[in-house]
Structure 1
């Protein structure tokens, strides 16, 4: 009997050890999973009209900023890995959208980043242009962060910007749906992803300091 009790206790200990690991995996990959059905749908139908690539732009900027925010304020490693996974997911979505649009494209004219035409910003035909833009943005952030990393105000500003861009996640898709007069591209998994990303995002200290004062003021 004692042996059975000890065995059960060992199983429970193993379960409690496994749960945090599973929770971390869910947090790392949970934000990207809602895009899997969208990826499969675009690949199956060869139609990317219902998906706004501006969603990728918002999430790429937000997560790149979050990574540089981590350099100044090292929050949980799980959230850092979440940003890396989300960046890779957005690149996968952009690559698929470019492939599908180029396959269905009737015109021979291509819009490229090198044209420097703001009217076609983030509407380029080549996936390499999106990579080049993100690389340039990352290099710019790296240079500025290297110079101002010792400034607590700058680090907090990075956190503000990351949260601000992530809060704009639903706007590009809403505009796309309004333009198409359809809600086909707005699926419930995206709403879940938006909620998960906002609740798990690291918050700058300044926001944490201001919120109690705001709540106290509203209670009066």
Structure 2
């Protein structure tokens, strides 16, 4: 329960290390998980729940920082014109230190809020809903990226399967252990998006490619037929 969610990203890390490219993997996933798990830690401080979920958050944050660092290193390969170095939009900064600075400021801000509002139930519940709400959006950036590119190339199928299996398991776990309602809602929503991405994988990864190949085959057939017709016409003219 603690290691499995983070271990799912080992294959994605391996793929990016092998290819030297982060295409197909949205770095926004790292951002979603980092922010969501920081919020979850503060939710745990305000309303104690299963310690395993707290440990899971700590392990996941470390994993995503390593993955994010590799994503930034791969940008030089994916965007050789250096345009990425000039970006300053949210979560598209050029340096790893920029991300660490943002996460540090977020943590300090939440710590101050916890100090002044940590005894207020409405505040603690709000932090909980924000945590699971952001985490529930985890697969959304990947689904958008797949749709825009009309491809799932570069996205590890192991990650997708681990998302689906992990979300199914944790939803059942949340229900069985009586975890806060926020967690159960998060699990159900993520399962729905996982199924959507699975559909994209079938459409873009298999059906789309097959359709494209078939279209190419039909195009080649038409070209060959046209070439044969022209050749036959030329032969008749020579006769």
TM-score (norm 2): 0.67
Equivalent-residue separation in structure 2 for 1:203 and 1:146 (angstroms): 24
Which one is further off, 199-208 or 77-86? 199-208
3-state SS in 2 of match to 1:31 = helix
Size of the aligned set, in residue pairs, is 176
Aligned with 1:46 (options 14, 20, 24): 20
Residue 19 of structure 1 corresponds to none
Q: CA deviation at 1:186?
A: 5.8
Q: Are the equivalent residues in 2 in contact too, given 1:47–1:100 (CA < 8 A)?
A: yes
Contact 1:166 / 1:198 at 8 angstroms: preserved in 2?
Answer: no
SS of the residue 1:182 aligns to: coil
User: Residue 164 of structure 2 corresponds to which residue in structure 1?
Assistant: 191
Q: Give the 3 Å change call, closer, same or farther, for CA 197–130 of structure 1 in structure 2.
A: farther
Cα deviation code 1:132-189 (max 9, x no counterpart): 1111111111111111001011111111111111111110110111122112326222
Asked which structure has the greater RCO (Cα within 8 Å, sep 6+), the reply is 1
Task: Name stretches of at least 5 consecutive residues in structure 1 with no aligned partner.
Answer: 1-26, 209-220
Kept after mapping to 2: 8 A contact 1:69/1:155? yes
Matches of 1:106 and 1:92, distance apart in 2 = 22
Of 178, 187, 192, the match for 2:147: 178
Is the partner of 1:52 in helix, strand or coil? coil
Q: Against the structure 1 CA distance between its residues 193 and 176, is the aligned structure 2 distance closer, same or farther, given a 3 Å change threshold? A: farther
- Give the secondary-structure state (helix, strand or coil) at the position aligned to 2:141: helix
**Structure-to-structure mapping, 1:81-100, within 5 angstroms:** 81-100=55-74
Distance (whole Å) between structure 2 residues aligned to residue 204 and residue 31 of structure 1: 19
Listed as ranges, the matches of 1:55-74 within 5 Å are 55-74=29-48
Residue 161 (str. 1) matches residue 130 (str. 2): yes
Return 5+ residue gaps in structure 2 as ranges. Answer: 185-239
Distance 2:170 2:134 in 1: 11
Give the match for residue 218 of structure 1: none
| 2-structure distance, mates of 1:70, 1:36 | 27
